A and B are shown apart, each in its own frame.
Chain A
């Protein structure tokens, strides 16, 4: 009997998987896209995510965004002699949480190193980072490329996370070219960063953009980074090269200072094209660092074409090895500074799991699931409305994503401050679902409550304005009347059967019925009457 149960469960599982696969329209064998059927681009991203903590990585100085220059700098960041680093517990927790969210192995022992280079915004002359023994390694990121212009349907892709390390940020330099000087603000120096080094598994700009969007969403969901690229909380460096599929990898260039998804997209595509042009004209791609100029939408060379920079890595002598233990393991010695399993327990549901739940439990489309899962407040609103399980998720999605969001946009409010509460919205959904009002009227009620700040309940508004859906008899009467009043139009249509004329008739009926008729039923009735 247990065998039968197992087989039944297995059958259900495969049916579920097949349903999900159909939803995702996945081809298990993905054929890489070659440019001009010849060149294969290879892109690897390094993402620097600023950890949202109250104090900096190695000192207890504030990290608030937008503070006046040099007001959030301590004696450690400004490299005063005699200061020592003290590691921030919350930053380590954030690193562990992020690593677990990407399925990475959290290393029980990790070490810090010094990376030396001279620049005005790096007061100590070195940056404390982790090179050989990072906090975590061997993770994986799965993401979906939703609106692919190359492949006409969404597809899945995944990239390995090679390592995750904790490091400190440098200060900010403002180049004052007119006066031939540089202004340095050290507020950002010492801020905690997580560097996520991904394997070179991407092939074009839109895959890179989709990947970064997913990373930002995951980090925001688990609360370790606020994901705001325009504030510099998430920075992306892209390593780009091209090669022919059967030959070894080509020389790569690094494009830094990508401050938005749009720049990333354009920079990657431009750089691929630039390298292909060089190679096709017989030249060689030089290994260098480039930046992206947002005005010209081109990548430009940043450093001189010299010998590669030597960072003279050495172990950080002022920091002991970071030891962690996992109390969920059988032979745990409890000899670490933090317990990994305690952090694991605090990880909330990841966006991909939310999307799959929405598709499986509510039958949403992939695009709608994406939209809802990407904003927590929108998702909460949706779940509140759907707490009444009789409501149609499709209808709720339509009214929510099309009508309500548009109304809120026009009054510059977001869903958390919506004048239309989830319960009132649910009322509108119920009215429409029970065919007591039509979509147009729902829109009008939403506008009334949101834009005109009508404080009555939706039902009250509908009754007061006499907006209930017309009964079939009244509707037929109106149709007859319009047909009688527009004999010429009717004749024209009967001769040519042009859709434009039908729509004209529909428009007249709609007006005559004060927007209260269900236009689908009207269409059927009208066509029936016209064909007779």
Chain B
């Protein structure tokens, strides 16, 4: 009984603190929760597929050259019919956004855009993790990660011929 009284007191105390900040003049003195019947729910009761009647941009055709370039840039393999249709469908769905008037509105980067970035002090907190890191790799050599070579530059061939020339001069 005493505990219940204390709890009520605490609730009223916090409520009073809240009400001091928030204007509750338009709220009548009713219990906190309202039944579903009294207020209309925003969640549709049956599935809805809305269609946009306004003009959409023309359907983007994805040709082979573009696909090859996209594959090279993203390293995602999707050169088959299903992948292409899926891509075109995704682009059409995104086209619906063009209907929205965004004039004068800054694009949102993050939901936390009104906060500022926390900065950390310049200190070293972790040391030598080379053993664990190198253990993740398939092939290592003397504490280096070993990877296959990339593009071979033209200078390499040039250097090869230069070496041959020098060899002949020595003889």
Contact = CB atoms under 8 A, between A and B. Distances in A.
B113 to A, nearest CB: 6
Nearest to B120: A86
Contacts of A184: 144-147
A322 B113 CA distance: 10
Given A61-B126, A70-B144, A74-B126, A320 B75 contact: no
Nearest to A78: B133
A183 B144 contact: yes
A183 B122 contact: no
B152 to A, nearest CB: 8
A183 B109 contact: no
A319 B117 contact: yes
A262 interface: no
B120 A88 contact: yes
Contacts of A445: none
A317 B150 contact: no
A337 B116 contact: yes
A73 B129 contact: yes
A24 B69 CA distance: 54
B128 to A, nearest CB: 5
A174 B149 CA distance: 10
Nearest to B160: A177
A177 B151 CA distance: 11
Nearest to B145: A184
Dominant secondary structure at the A interface: loop
B150 A73 contact: no
Interface residues of A, number: 61
A53 B117 CA distance: 19
B141 to A, nearest CB: 6
Contact of B150 (A89, A119, A336): A119
Contacts of B155: 291, 293, 300
B120 A87 contact: yes
A185 B146 CA distance: 9
Contacts of A59: 126
B145 A337 contact: no
A140 interface: no
A88 B124 CA distance: 11
A451 to B, nearest CB: 43
B115 interface: yes
A88 B122 contact: yes
B133 A180 contact: no
B67 interface: no
Given A70-B145, A184-B144, A323 B116 contact: yes
Interface residues of B, number: 43
A325 B144 CA distance: 43
A88 B130 contact: no
Given A119-B150, A184-B144, A70 B122 contact: no
Contact of B109 (A181, A293, A317, A337): A317
A53 B122 contact: yes
A61 B75 contact: no
Interface in B92-112: 109-110, 112
Interface in A353-402: none
A72 to B, nearest CB: 8
Interface string A308-335: 0010100101011111000000000001
Given A78-B133, A312-B73, A336-B116, A89 B147 contact: no
A430 to B, nearest CB: 47
A348 B117 CA distance: 28
Interface in B143-171: 143-151, 153-156, 158
Given A69-B143, A174-B144, A321 B122 contact: no
A71 interface: yes
A293 B158 CA distance: 11
A74 B110 CA distance: 26
Nearest to B146: A181
A210 to B, nearest CB: 29
A182 B153 contact: no
B144 to A, nearest CB: 4
A111 interface: yes
B29 to A, nearest CB: 39
Interface in A67-102: 68-75, 78, 86-92
A90 to B, nearest CB: 4
B116 A322 contact: yes
Contacts of B149: 175, 177, 180-182
Which among A119, A296, A320 has the greatest number of chain B C-beta atoms within 10 A?
A: A320
A307 B72 CA distance: 12
A335 B114 CA distance: 10
A127 to B, nearest CB: 15
B123 interface: yes
Contacts of B116: 320-323, 335-337
A73 B140 CA distance: 15
B120 A182 contact: no
B58 interface: no
A120 B133 contact: no
A86 B74 CA distance: 26
Contacts of A62: 124, 127
A90 B147 contact: no
Contact of A337 (B113, B119, B123, B144): B119
Interface of A: 53-55, 59-62, 68-75, 78, 86-92, 111, 116, 118-120, 173-175, 177, 180-186, 291, 293, 296, 300-304, 307, 310, 312, 315, 317, 319-323, 335-338
Given A54-B122, A87-B118, 8 more contacts: A55-B123, A55-B125, A61-B125, A86-B119, A87-B119, A181-B148, A183-B145, A322-B116
10 contacts: A55-B122, A60-B126, A70-B144, A89-B120, A89-B122, A183-B147, A300-B155, A315-B109, A321-B113, A322-B117
> Nearest 9 CB-CB pairs, A to B?
A90-B122, A323-B116, A183-B144, A60-B125, A89-B119, A184-B145, A120-B147, A320-B117, A315-B109
